Amino acid sequence: MTYKLSQIAKELNLEFNGTDIEIEGIHTLLEATPSQLSFFNDAKYLSQLPTTKAAAVLVDEANAKFLPETTVALITDEAYLKLAEASKLFAHPLTVEEGTPWMGEGCQVADSVRFGNNVVLGENVTIMAGCYLGDDVVVGDNTLLHPNVTLYHGTKVGSECIIHSGTVIGCDGYGFAHTKQGEHVKIYQNGHVIIEDHVEIGANCAIDRAVFGATHIRKGTKMDNLIQVAHNCEVGEHTLMAAQVGLAGSSTLGRNVVMGGQSATAGHLEIGAFATIAGKGGVTKSLEGGKTYAGFPAIEIKQWRRLQAVLMRLVKKR
């Protein structure tokens, strides 16, 4: 699905001057290609304006001068809101039409399973009653989907995976732009989810699709029940997550991170490889790998224990 840049500008009620080319999607300043639209709404990304390869950028007039000559500036003082409006143009068209999957040898599929179009199943895939696999879903060899698993369109699941009942993969991330009147405008989530090999996901988990690009669960990760992974997160290889862990959008976890029950992250931060977050730990900033953290906000566990001891002594004195 592509649109002329002039057509997009018209839909967004923006003036257009420049080369009229076909636009095939939206991406960040860093990742956008010469056939994609991007946006600028945060000063911390100013350094990315001169180097972006985007065909056009939604940008305020003051910062348009930093764009390369090859990039068209779509001038607006509400770039994030215009991004939300533009995202609807590129949303995957939803339909109740059913398709017939391509299946490798040895697959077992319950009669009540439903498929979208262009679904591909590897060899020896088992899909139990009540599952739904949307358009363009791919499932690798020897993977097991327990009853009532939902894989939204574009989801890629690797080989030797186990996904337990009630889990939803590829649902929309929680993204909205806000008008000056305080109204909330949906940002359509046009990315997808990639689950690599040997991943196990517990019951009633939710893994959101990316805004653009991918939410990525890397190989060997094991997830307990009732876990939320928000849009554009990246979970490193062999990560362990106990029940009720929550990752806010664009959190990045290195390999072999351990997250205790009910621990969580704020968005747009990194947790280094081999870090451990104790149960109910709240990560509010990026953390070094190879250490154990506890508390809210999460700090190194030795420091947290000293803090708890001091607080207890104060309580006893009172």
Residues 62 and 154 in one domain: no
Does residue 171 sit in the same domain as residue 221?
yes
Q: Are residues 147 and 221 in the same domain?
A: yes
Same domain? For 49 and 135 the reply is no
DSSP class of residue 216? Answer: E
CB 167 within 8 A of CB 206: yes
- What confidence score (pLDDT) does residue 143 get? 98
Q: Is residue 157 included in any domain, yes or no?
A: yes
Do 291 and 199 belong together in one domain?
yes
Tokens of 269: 């931060």
Q: State residue 151's pLDDT score.
A: 98
- Pick from 62, 90, 118: which residue ends a domain? 90
* Assigned domain for 22 exists: yes
**pTM score, whole prediction:** 0.94
H or E segment and range at residue 83: helix 79-87
Would 318 be classed as within a structural domain?
A: no
Alpha carbons 300 and 276: distance in angstroms, whole number: 10
Q: What angle do CA 9, 10, 15 make, to 5 degrees?
A: 60
Give the up-direction half-sphere exposure of residue 73: CA atoms within 13 A in the CB hemisphere.
17
205 with 267, same domain: the answer is: yes
CA torsion 175-214-60-269 (nearest 10°) is 80
For the chain, list residues with pLDDT below 50: none
| Residue 314: inside a domain | no
Read off the tokens for 231: 């849009």
- Do 195 and 223 lie in one domain? The reply is yes
Whether 310 is in a domain gets the answer no
CATH number at residue 16: 3.40.1390.10
Q: What is the pLDDT of residue 315?
A: 87
DSSP state for residue 209 in the 8-state scheme: P
Q: Which range of residues forms the domain containing residue 42? A: 3-90
- Are residues 251 and 178 located together in one domain of the fold? yes
Task: Give the per-residue pLDDT at 195.
Answer: 98
Active-site residue, selected from the candidate residues 164, 192, 231, 238: 231
Which of 90, 115, 137 delimits the end of a domain?
Answer: 90
Give yes or no: residues 60 and 201 share one domain: no
The answer on 291 and 251 residing in a single domain is yes
Q: Give the whole-angstrom CA distance, residue 210 versus residue 53.
A: 21
27 catalytic per annotation: no
> Nearest to residue 246, comparing CAs of 270, 229, 269?
229
* Structural domain ending residue among the three candidates 67, 90, 113: 90
**130 domain-assigned:** yes
Q: Does residue 50 belong to any structural domain of this protein? A: yes
Count how many domains the chain has: 2
Distance CA 163, CA 125 (A): 12
Same domain, 129 and 272: yes
Residues 86, 114 within the same domain: no
Name the amino acid, one letter, at 102. Answer: W
Could you tell me the CATH number of the domain that includes residue 262?
A: 2.160.10.10
150 lies in a domain? yes
